[in-house]
Amino acid sequence: MSHTPHELAADFPEYAEQLHELKAGNAHFQKLAEAYHALNRDIHRAETNVEPTSDDQMTDMRKRRMVLKDEINALLKSIA
């Protein structure tokens, strides 16, 4: 298992320009991105045992990250 954080720019390189535009001018996207990054940071800290967590908690956090990522992907596709 990789312990590399899932950064939006790395996950959506084809949308680099749209990511920048949305971060700068879309309040809803900003909230989604902030929530994604905070959750992503928590997952990374748990995976690297900086802040260990239970398997159930890890699964829950990963599911929530996927939901946020799906929403972000939908927004990116809607403006592309």
What are the pLDDT digits (tens) for 43-66?
999 999 999 999 999 999 999 999
Give domain status of residue 66, yes or no: yes
Give domain status of residue 10, yes or no: no
Find all residues with CB under 8 Å of 3, minimum gap 6, and list them: 44, 47, 48
Distance CA 70, CA 57 (A): 20
Domain count within the chain: 1
Q: Which two tokens stand for residue 76?
A: 């990116």
Distance CA 3, CA 15 (A): 23
pTM of the model: 0.87
Which residue carries 């989604």 as its tokens?
A: 32
Q: Give residue 37's domain range.
A: 27-79
Give domain status of residue 57, yes or no: yes
Q: What percent of the chain has pLDDT over 70?
A: 94
Give domain status of residue 59, yes or no: yes
